[in-house]
Amino acid sequence: MDFSLPPDIATLAAEVDAFVRAEVIPFESDPRWTDHGPDDDLRRDLNAKARAAGLLAPHAPRAYGGQELSHVAKAAVFEAAGYSILGPVALHIHAPDEGNLHLLSVVASATQKERFLRPLAEARTRSCFAMTEPNTETGEGAGSDPSMLSTRAIRDGDGFVISGRKWLTTGADGAAFAIIMARTGDGPGDATMFLAELPNQSFRIVRRLTTMDTSFMGGHAEIEIDNLHVGPESVLGEVGKGFRYAQVRLAPARLTHCMRWLGSAKRAHDIATDYARRRKAFGTRLGEHEGVSFMLADNALDIHSTRLAIQHCAWVLDQGGRANTESSMTKVIASEAIMRVVDRSLQILGGMGMTRDTVVERIFRDVRGFRIYDGPSEVHRWSLGRRIVDGK
């Protein structure tokens, strides 16, 4: 077992760390970071800095200008980028674009790659992934249970007509294209992915949702898809294999969320540690009080165990494994440990933690959602428990 990073990846992670601290963190007070996420003008400025530093989209395939990082390499580089919430935006490794880029690189045709993947990999465009749906009158709607997918794609000649409603569609506002999940049959697995260029009058943003988090480009939107006509060239992969392709996207993308948020948890811990070293109370430094030092120790334990879980899952993916079980376990371990780290850090900061004088308050609000999206902890535990009982 060798836990050391290859020298080139260790160097790249160090370069990203230095870049984020020097070039990205100063933008955290930029008013273009709105309640619906960083706006595209801010993104372009940050992308330009990353491009100049040779750090833009390092995860992308080499054919499209990237360094084609392994999953283990991503673990180090993405954590370094996540030290600022804006770091992944700058490097163009943020969700949902990072997951969509991976999906397109695996599933898309050569023509689709030139049309959609190349401009995405070069940070000339953004994208969205439209799968999650609001609850309907019949109780249907894809959420934690994707088999409840209610959006329909009906055959129309050699193409399809798509109708349905989506919500919590991250990045839809300003996206150049959408990957849409729609049901193309009545069987439990009959779903297909479609590529749709945006804007399109048949793909309408009903509202931008007001949410706790503010880290995702374009925020989250509710979408009405009304008789969206697409040709056969818009089918991503093969008809009827949408759920299979979703697994291609979700396991690695779930893991990269863990990587990025681990970086933010480390940032919150560092801010709290610095405060505990300087702040005095009851005759000594705050950090010398056992109640505070124990919280810092628990932070270090959670950060360490989370990093190990991420690295192991990344290793399984690099070996060609599906990592469904490993990614589920890592998602629960990481989302809950990261939340604990940030919560303790805010507690150590006391009244300052409630303010925006530090970025901890913002990190706290943003990481809370991580226990819900990409599968709530309860769903992952249910799935893991079922596999254990079934002996799988």
CATH 1.10.540.10 is held by the domain 7-94 = yes
- Going 86 to 87 to 89 to 90, the CA torsion angle's sign is positive
Please, where in the chain does CATH 1.20.140.10 lie? Answer: 243-389
Q: What is the pLDDT of residue 44?
A: 98
Cα–Cα nearest to 222, from 153, 154, 151, 155: 151
Please give the single-letter amino acid code of residue 352: M
Least confident of 128-142, 231-245, 320-334, 357-371: 128-142
Which overall architecture, per CATH, does domain 243-389 show? Answer: Up-down Bundle (1.20)
Tell me which CATH code domain 127-240 carries: 2.40.110.10
Is the pLDDT at 137 greater than 80? The verdict is no
Whether 140 has a pLDDT exceeding 90, the answer reads no
Closest CA to 359 of 26, 17, 23: 26
Q: What percent of the chain has pLDDT over 90?
A: 94
If you count them, how many residues does the chain have?
A: 392
Q: Residues spanned by CATH 2.40.110.10 within the chain?
A: 127-240
Looking at residue 135, its pLDDT comes to 84
**Across residues 186-204, what is the average pLDDT?**
95
- Tell me the per-residue pLDDT of 166-193, one tens digit each, with 9 for 90 and over: 999 999 999 999 999 999 998 878 999 9
Give residue-wise pLDDT tens across range 315-346.
999 999 999 999 999 999 999 999 999 999 99
pLDDT of residue 114: 98
The DSSP element (H or E) to which 162 belongs, if any, is: strand 159-170
Q: Find the mean pLDDT for residues 40-46.
A: 98
Which H or E run contains 161? strand 159-170
The secondary structure of the chain in percent helix, strand, coil, rounded to multiples of 5, reads 55, 15, 30
Instruction: Please spell the DSSP secondary structure of 181-203, one letter per residue.
Output: EEE-SSSTT-EEEEEEESSBTTE
The pLDDT-based confidence of 94 (bands split at 50, 70, 90) is very high
Contact (CB, 8 A) for 70 and 12: no
Contact 161, 119 (CB under 8 A): no
Q: Where do you find CATH 1.10.540.10 in the chain?
A: 7-94
